[in-house]
Structure 1
Amino acid sequence: MTPPQLSPADGFATRGPSSLRFDANLKWLFTELPFEERFDAAAREGFRGVEYSSPYDHNPNRLLARLHDAGLVQVLINTPSGAPGTVGRSGYACLPDHVDDFREGIRRALEYATALGSPYIHLMGGARPDHVRWDRAYAQFVANAAWAAEQAAGTDVTFLLEAQNRRDAPGFVLDSIEQAASIVEAVNNPHLGLMFDVYHCQVTQGDVVTRIRALFPLIRHVQIADPPLRSEPGSGEINWQNVFDELITLQYSGWIGCEYRPLNETATGLSWMKQYGS
């Protein structure tokens, strides 16, 4: 079965009349339903793409069938990570003692991304253990990111780096979105790009619109949620009209992943796409 393909013109959610394309993160949205039922639920609400962090507990052919049946495309998956409470809970990329785990995860992620037709894999940076110096963890992360990008040669897959805030991800290896961008620039491989997570940026640094503008040449994917509760746009502190207007002005043609925790049922909280997607 061939992964479904949609043109950019077909890819945006029907609730939003602009050129912005929103995809549903099925780890966070429609959680009132079993996982496999979330595909159809997302399609009913007008989404044409989905992302989720971990496909690895599911047969890729089964996931591909769910995408086909719902008329969806896979946008993004994550590299494998360890169980909560383990050293690899946020990924293995910065862990010097887990290079083999990291490389095996890259190979597995590429297999799934290729099978599902996913153009993007979030390369999980990882949390630095107390016994590992930051400079050593950072150097390992850079080396691993370069190695992963090399493995993607000959595919249509791009690995993405993301900075996460320390409140939600204590000890995370990257301090800022600019630090993630500097690695992308240093590696200088077309199979490595930047994921701009608006929520993490706002919690850690703020000045979201200016940072989007400055880093735009490196941005391949955007994710959204509204602090402080990490809920839908309009529920918190961010001026989303300014954020979306900036993306439209910059002619951003990528996907915007809805990686938020709905305040109530997912469908009832999607009115923001009408409000802000003009």
Structure 2
Amino acid sequence: MPRFAANLSMMYPDLPFLDRFEAAAKDGFKAVEYLFPYAFPAQELVARLKANGLQQVLFNTPPGGTDSASFTQAWESGSRGTASVPGREAEFRVGIEQALVYADALNCPRIHAMVGLRASGAEAEAADATLISNLQWAAVEAAKAGRDVLIEPINTRSVPGFHLNRQDHAHRIVRAVGADNVKVQMDLFHCQIVEGDLSAKIAQYLPTGRVGHFQIAEVPHRHEPGTGEVNWTHIFQTIDKVSAECGWDGWIGCEYNPADASAGGTSRGLGWARGYL
């Protein structure tokens, strides 16, 4: 049966961030993910996880910058990662190092290395070469700590100019890196918008061993499953079937904005998850 993690950056928007851990646990989630932990002391997050019986299964590396304040500033100024950006290798390394510190404290098995927007005037080949080199360095550092590093294709409607958009491109990069702990974060919201054919893509890529995590949101409005065009019952059955055949036992992150953002709206919108949580 698919295992779902609540994305606390997007779900429960009516609550302060630290209160969202308890809300997710009360709704039956056993795991959480979110964009960034860096605004909070690691031990505060650890306490919230332990108090609510939750696992941390994913978070992102910083989008740019070299310390907590500049991480936030980078995100607010539109930076969406540094992994593929020539000239920002030092920022990338600082970000990986800080992410691994938090991953150790939170016992989180994987981090998402944000690929970033293609630099103005940069050729795709140069961005790929920078990305591969950065990931090869990150793979070594993450392996020392027993962590996986993930990259995520993102659709250009949500994030115009993002360097990585397609599953085949992401898998080419991962193969070129050549490290067992570098994998693809397969977000089915982005995949549906760019490529479609979700069932075939799951069947094609999940058995390769290079998919480290799934994320979901309905298309087109990024709300909860059942509010748009995707047949999620079929998709979850496909993931379940292929997982059983290939031995994949990862998590599916619920990275969606609840259609009802009012108090209690996230919980009321979990009808799609009945039988899974």
TM-score normalised per structure 1: 0.90
Listed as ranges, the matches of 1:240-251 within 5 Å are 240-250=232-242, 251=244
1:203 to 193, 204, 217: 193
- In structure 2, the partner of 1:104 is 94
Deviates more, 1:36-45 or 1:185-194: 185-194
Match for 2:59: what amino acid? Answer: I
- In structure 2, the partner of 1:270 is 270
- Gap runs ≥5 in structure 1: 1-18
Structure-2 separation of matches of 1:192 and 1:135 = 20
8 A contact 2:128–2:173 mirrored in 1? no
- In structure 1, the partner of 2:226 is 234
- In structure 2, the partner of 1:225 is 217
- In structure 2, the partner of 1:6 is none
1:253 aligns with 2:249: yes
- Gap runs ≥5 in structure 2: 65-73
Deviation sequence 1:62-84 (CA, Å, 0-9, x none)? 11011001110100010001434
Aligned residue for 1:96, secondary structure, equals coil
Structure-1 separation of matches of 2:119 and 2:142 = 28
Deviation sequence 1:152-207 (CA, Å, 0-9, x none)? 12222100111000001111111311111111122221221111100000011101
8 A contact 2:4–2:29 mirrored in 1? yes
- In structure 2, the partner of 1:63 is 45
Match for 1:271: what amino acid? Answer: G
Structure-1 separation of matches of 2:19 and 2:110 = 23
- In structure 2, the partner of 1:176 is 166
Deviates more, 1:129-138 or 1:64-73: 129-138
8 A contact 2:139–2:148 mirrored in 1? yes
1:135 to 113, 121, 125: 125
Match for 1:98: what amino acid? Answer: R
Structure-1 separation of matches of 2:75 and 2:3 = 32
Superposition deviation, residue 85 in structure 1: 6.0
Superposition deviation, residue 133 in structure 1: 2.0
Aligned residue for 2:116, secondary structure, equals coil
Structure-1 separation of matches of 2:130 and 2:103 = 24
Over aligned residues, Cα RMSD in angstroms?
1.4
Structure-2 separation of matches of 1:34 and 1:137 = 37
> Which 4+ residue blocks in structure 1 deviate beyond 4 angstroms?
none
- In structure 1, the partner of 2:180 is 190
- In structure 2, the partner of 1:52 is 34
Superposition deviation, residue 31 in structure 1: 1.1
Structure-1 separation of matches of 2:113 and 2:230 = 26
Superposition deviation, residue 131 in structure 1: 2.4
- In structure 1, the partner of 2:67 is none
Aligned length: 258
- In structure 2, the partner of 1:215 is 205
Structure-1 separation of matches of 2:164 and 2:15 = 34
Deviation sequence 1:66-122 (CA, Å, 0-9, x none)? 1001110100010001434646x1101011111100100010011111110001101
Structure-2 separation of matches of 1:50 and 1:143 = 30
Match for 1:248: what amino acid? Answer: D
- In structure 2, the partner of 1:23 is 5
Structure-2 separation of matches of 1:273 and 1:178 = 30
- In structure 2, the partner of 1:42 is 24
8 A contact 2:151–2:184 mirrored in 1? yes
TM-score normalised per structure 2: 0.90
8 A contact 2:153–2:167 mirrored in 1? yes
